[in-house]
Structure 1
Amino acid sequence: MSNIDKRALRKAAEKHGDDDILALLDELEAKDKRVAELEAREVKLPKPISVLHRRDFMDAHRSIYAYPEAEVNAALADAGINVAAAAKGE
C-alpha cells in the first residue's frame, strides 16, 4: 500500500466536513497501531535439543538440532499466536 499524507487528508476532510473520510482515517490509524504492536511482539523459543550426532560429518554439521514441538506451541500460545497445522504436502 502506498504511503499517504494522512495529516493533509485529515485536514482537508475536516475542512469539508467529510465524516466518512475521517472515520476511515481513524480506522487506518488504528490498523497501523495494531500492526506495530504485532510486529513488536517477540517469542522466546525453548532451547533446541540434539537429535542426531554423526562422527563422520564436519564439526559444524555433526549435530542436528530440533525444538520440542509442545514447548514451541506453548510459547507461541502464550504470545497469543495461533498455529495451524499444515496439510500433507505443504
Structure 2
Amino acid sequence: MASISEYTSEETPLQVHLNGVSTFISIVGLTVVVIVLIVLLARYFSGHTKNPDGSVQFTTGKTKVGDAIDGAIKIITVVVTIVVVAVP
C-alpha cells in the first residue's frame, strides 16, 4: 500500500505524447495566426477588401484615420479569436 501511494513526478508515456502534440498544435496555430494577420492587413491596406455594398474599405488618402484604425482592430480581433480557439 505504501508503494502505491508514493507520488512520483515521472510523466507517463501518454503525458509525454500529449505534451508533444500540444506543443506542435501551438506552433502550428501561432504560425497560421501570423500568416493570417499579414495577409489580412496586406489585403486591407492595399484596397482589396470591400464593404457589403461593394465599395472599397480602404483607399489611400481618402479613408479617415479613425476608419483605418477600426478596420485594423477588426482584423486583430479575428487573429485573437484564432489564437484563443487554436492554442489552449
TM range (shorter): 0.3 to 0.5
Q: Relative contact order: is structure 1 or structure 2 higher (C-alpha 8 Å, sep ≥ 6)?
A: 2
Q: Quick check: which one's helix share is greater? A: 2
Q: TM-score, normalised by structure 1?
A: 0.35
Larger Rg: 1
Q: TM-score, normalised by structure 2?
A: 0.36
